[in-house]
Amino acid sequence: MSTVQKRSWAEQVMGLPISLLARGPAARTAAADAAAQAVYRELREVDLTFSPYRPDSEVSRLARGELSWEAAAPVVREVADRCRRARELTGGLFDAETPAAGWDPSGLVKGWAAERASRLLIEVDGADWCLNAGGDVVVHCPSGEPFVIGIQDPGDPGAVVATVRSTGDAVATSGTAARGAHLYDPRNGAAVVGNWASVSVTGPSLEWADVLATAAFVAGDDWPRVVSLLPGYAGLGVHTDGTLRAMPGWPRVQPGDAG
């Protein structure tokens, strides 16, 4: 029986662990490695532009008033437009204007950047790809063989509460597992503390799955309505007592599936 070729890469970028897994006959080729390195280069460029922790980034310079919106890079203005659309779609549950730091698009940039960079991988014939950006996942599976993606248990980072099979849909999760009560409600500026430990969203775009997961978590018990704001997306909520609530469109897998 033949063994499926695999190769993985991992780097810390944008303050997050970014991992790549290639699977298939081309996984160990120079072309696959070149594509992986191109992804990391693009993500590092995004970090140089958008990181609020870098004093020389355009986001930091905008916050200090050293850079005008008219002089900002086109990609910065594009992301600002995307943030505005996300705010309008979610009725203000997602907002890049933060009470402490002013305009901070980090909540959108991670999913947007990972999805955009992942398109560089499609050029490699004979490889399936899984890109994991700090728990937000996008896959490309030209073989048609799905990856199985684990949903982290917010009460035990070493465990999963569910898995989903994906050949193309993205998965994003928002909650308190990694950084505690770090999300705030844009409507009142207060930290979000409620009945739900995490909300995961799956759908065709990682950018929008990430936006919807964040907005849904802020919405609390109303989170399923928020996930339904766009067609083709479904959610899984993990209650603080450990129980799960899956929307009707949430994909399910059989026991024993492996990635």
Considering the domain 6-246, what is its CATH architecture?
A: Roll (3.10)
Q: What is the mean pLDDT of each run of 10 residues along the chain (259 residues)?
A: 85 95 98 98 97 94 94 97 97 87 89 97 96 96 96 90 94 74 68 84 97 94 96 96 93 50
110, 134 in Cβ contact below 8 A?
Answer: yes
Residue 3: count other Cβ atoms within 10 Å of its Cβ: 5
Q: What is the token pair recorded at 83?
A: 């943030």
- Is residue 31 classed as helix, strand or coil in its secondary structure? helix
Q: pTM for this structure? A: 0.91
Distance of CA 109 to the CA centre of its chain: 9
30 residue type, one letter: A
DSSP symbol at 101 = T
Could you tell me the residue ranges of all domains in the chain?
A: 6-246
